[in-house]
A and B are shown apart, each in its own frame.
Chain A
């Protein structure tokens, strides 16, 4: 459904993302693993049009080329990004943030349904609709960010380390919500440091190193790969899990 090829990002001389290709299908969670500085955030920002892409990139969603679109047209085309640091409007209320999620036309038709769905997914938000987002806890703000992205009825949801800073309980809640989002037919590209939990709910995964994709496979296969276990799951080579 989402097919990316030849995607590179350069900050001055530094090539942060080098000719990356990947696919995300309908209703699947694809996990992108990589160490700090591997280029994971750059990848998502490049897809979302928030950083400049090097020429020659192709970002196709259901056959439509999006690489030429400015950032504000990407979400309307069906790719919703929850960036590093969430990018919510802290001064506005939860309700206003969610309403803005439906700002693109594709979010308008089923706005009431999606509003209901987001509140079912994150019941905590239901009681806080008129609270300013800036006054909420980090986990609650993360829910607003994911909820806002869902309000645009995306085909693919791009998430940059949504579990960052969350308590184990909040984290579990969030990952369960992601699984339900996937089951509703939305594709999810999930950038995570939390390899264990993300591979547990993920369907497939890629490994990113120094801006390049150096490996890929099913979540189960990656979880069992000794090199992956050593690098991302903190398990030494040869040690039993």
Chain B
């Protein structure tokens, strides 16, 4: 059935976008680092997964369980070692945004260079649960269902962490009012490192999930970082619900256009949607202009 096809494809793609954007919004909205190398981390994780699956015979789901904490650790380290000097120097001022863009731009080329050196410019993929499953008369590759399920589970886990735990509430407090956070004993730098790390866990998990159903190459990180940024801004910086809605919007727009119009137009539709949202709501779907 066509409608089931479109729904499943839209939710899988949109869910992936939402998940990746949530990580970026944590890094930008809480840690206040505009991480341009975000997409490269995604691709690194995809290649890491490919290596573990094809060379070490790991199950992709096991790789997912490893890539989440690894992504956290690596990003936490990047914040503590590479970003901390910039954070200190900026004194929480606006200089951090520019500095972090420059620094992560450098990191982008470094990571991409390493990937190109190791894997070249070709597309890679591996086969995982690619046999079709029948859902209400539609044939869907089983791996997409696995991806959709894990994306939903990780998104839900993040939501619960941020809204139900004290640590998560503290992370949101830093997002909305970093100046006041020390009043309740929150160490803003420590929490920023944690938020940056959680963002890294999400994008690493996203890379592993991506590799389960899409081919990937060393240079495609930029496109994903751009899409994630579009989703973050569309949804309203720092807003998880905004990420979810905007991510799904983007996923469905792409699916519909690719299916019924022309696959070559997806990017154009992305940006048309982006512009439309910004024209109607300049601070994003769920953002407030000033707080």
Q: Which residues of A contact B (CB under 8 A)?
A: 48-50, 70-76, 80-81, 83, 87-92, 96, 99-104, 134, 148-149, 152
Contact = CB atoms under 8 A, between A and B. Distances in A.
Contacts of A152: 184-185
B176 interface: yes
Contacts of B169: 92, 96, 99-100
16 contacts: A50-B183, A70-B187, A71-B182, A72-B185, A72-B187, A74-B182, A76-B185, A87-B177, A90-B176, A91-B291, A96-B169, A100-B166, A100-B170, A101-B184, A103-B170, A152-B184
The 10 closest A-B pairs by CB, nearest first: A104-B185, A71-B182, A87-B180, A72-B182, A91-B176, A75-B185, A100-B184, A72-B187, A103-B184, A76-B185
B277 to A, nearest CB: 21
Q: Is the interface of B mostly helix, strand, loop or mixed?
A: helix
Contact of A104 (B173, B177, B179, B184): B184
B177 A90 contact: yes
B186 interface: yes
Nearest to A105: B185
B176 to A, nearest CB: 4
B172 A148 contact: no
Nearest to B177: A89
Contacts of B166: 99-100, 102-103
Interface in B136-192: 166, 169-170, 172-173, 176-177, 179-188
Nearest to B181: A72
A99 B167 CA distance: 10
A31 B15 CA distance: 56
B185 A92 contact: no
Contacts of A74: 182
Nearest to A95: B169
Contacts of A50: 182-183
A81 B179 CA distance: 13
A214 B144 CA distance: 74
A72 B191 CA distance: 12
B238 to A, nearest CB: 9
Contacts of A71: 182-183
Interface residues of B, number: 18
Contacts of A80: 183
A89 B170 CA distance: 10
A72 B180 contact: no
B182 A91 contact: no
Contacts of A104: 184-185
A89 B173 contact: yes
B195 to A, nearest CB: 15
Nearest to A80: B183
B182 A148 contact: no
Contacts of B173: 89, 92, 96, 100
A83 B291 contact: no
A48 B182 CA distance: 9
B183 A73 contact: no
Given A99-B166, A100-B170, A104-B184, 14 more contacts: A48-B183, A50-B182, A71-B182, A71-B183, A72-B187, A75-B185, A87-B177, A87-B179, A88-B180, A90-B176, A92-B169, A96-B172, A100-B166, A100-B173
A50 B188 CA distance: 13
Contacts of A83: 180, 183
A59 to B, nearest CB: 16
Interface in B183-214: 183-188
Q: A48, A50, A87, A152: which has the most chain B beta carbons within 10 Å?
A: A87
Contacts of B186: 72, 100, 103
A75 B166 CA distance: 17
Contacts of B183: 48, 50, 71, 75, 80-81, 83, 87, 149
A106 to B, nearest CB: 9
A175 B162 CA distance: 35
A87 B184 CA distance: 10
Contacts of A90: 176-177, 291
A75 to B, nearest CB: 4
B165 to A, nearest CB: 10
A64 to B, nearest CB: 16
Contact of B184 (A49, A70, A91, A148): A148
